[in-house]
Amino acid sequence: MMTKPFGKSSDVSELVSSLGWLEEDGSSQDGDESPDMRGQHSLTVGSRIHSCTELGSEDMDEEEEEEDDEIGPNGEQAPKRRGPKKKKMTKARQERFRARRVKANARERSRMHGLNDALDNLRRVMPCYSKTQKLSKIETLRLARNYIWALSEVLENGQSPESHGFVEMLCKGLSQPTSNLVAGCLQLGPSPMILNKLEDKCGGPGIGGVGGQASHSLSYPSPGLPSPPYGSLEASHLIHMKGFKGPVYDNPSPNECSSGTPPYDGPLTPPLSISGNFTLKQEPSPHESERNYTPHTGHHAHYLSSHHYPSSTAGGPQGHPLFQASRYELPLDVAFDSFTPSHLISSQMGAI
């Protein structure tokens, strides 16, 4: 559960607002703001406070304004402050500040969009990529780690990708809905990824094989379907049941304890069929279509069992720039001829 310092309607916010800290004319809205802006009708309390502080420290060439006689919320005199004195917020300064903030906000939005695009790319190389059932960010990262871990087991220990252990590794530490999704996908059919490549290279079917004939005996519920009340695929359960024996880690990270997912400190080994995967999945990011900000909600995606892409994004824009980048293609073709884990990993990570 996410921890939130304040409730959704913060008492503090109301207090600050009542003190007149909030701008009265709604000018906190960026001029370049998208229609997608949903919850930004007021600035955050902390931000507002910081904002005032910052304003007080800029433009030292302008006249300073004493603020010694600040009056507190209850009328009492606030203690004198040390440090640079705040300056009066002149109109010009306000405008400059706003312009700066607007630019910074735009950059930050762009940065976060880039991050989300990268996450989308990562989702696409996951075994259970689905346009309609999107993994949450955190689950994407967890699954990615598990995936790398599982593949490394395949390469290093010869573990079969059809084995229980492979699926267990993939699901380890994931939420049940995600575990179900992964299991469902693996059972349903070949993830376009490693499995095909394994088939090519090893002469064996991938997990589940084409047509969804799962060769492993784990009985996963309803293939391909989202989460809920299907059986429990909680990885730890499986592990206990099957006497799972994972790799030995030298330096277990304390951070991993909470999730129950083992850390992986060993050498990374790359996913096996990145190239095939990218070939198959070179679809435009759903996110990309939303970059144009359809009004409605900023919710471009729904997550796992309970979320679905809006139909309008099904087609999506063509030619995602990221997928046109040569860096996705070049190293991948080399992967199996001159197999160099570090190279592949770096190429894969570059894609991410």
* Chain contacts with DNA (rule: CB under 7 A): 1-2, 4-10, 12-13, 28, 30, 33-34, 36-48, 50-54, 101-109, 111-113, 116, 136-139, 175, 228, 287, 293, 297-303, 305-308
Min dist CB 141 to DNA, Å, is: 10
Q: Which is nearer to DNA, 116 or 187 (CB)?
A: 116
Cα(128)–Cα(278) distance, integer angstroms: 14
CB of 7 to DNA, least distance (A): 7
Q: Write the DSSP symbol of residue 77.
A: B
Nearer CB in complex with DNA: 104/202: 104
The least CB distance from residue 295 to DNA, in Å, is 9
Smallest distance from DNA to CB 291, Å: 9
Residue that is written with structure tokens 């809205």 in the block: 29
Phi/psi of residue 176, nearest 5 degrees: -60, -45
Helices and strands per DSSP (H, E), number in the chain? 14, 0
At closest approach, how far in Å is the CB of 125 from DNA? Answer: 17
Distance CA 184, CA 178 (A): 9
**Cα 281 from Cα 328, distance rounded (Å):** 12
Nearer to DNA, 45 or 194 (CB): 45
Nearer to DNA, 142 or 197 (CB): 142
- DSSP class of 248: -
CB-wise, 211 or 228, nearer to DNA? 228
d(CA 269, CA 343): 10
Query: Which residue's CB is nearer to DNA, number 279 or number 294?
Result: 294
CA angle centred on 214, ends 226 and 169, rounded to 5° = 70
Closest approach of DNA to the CB of residue 84, in Å: 11
Secondary element (H or E) of residue 202: helix 194-202
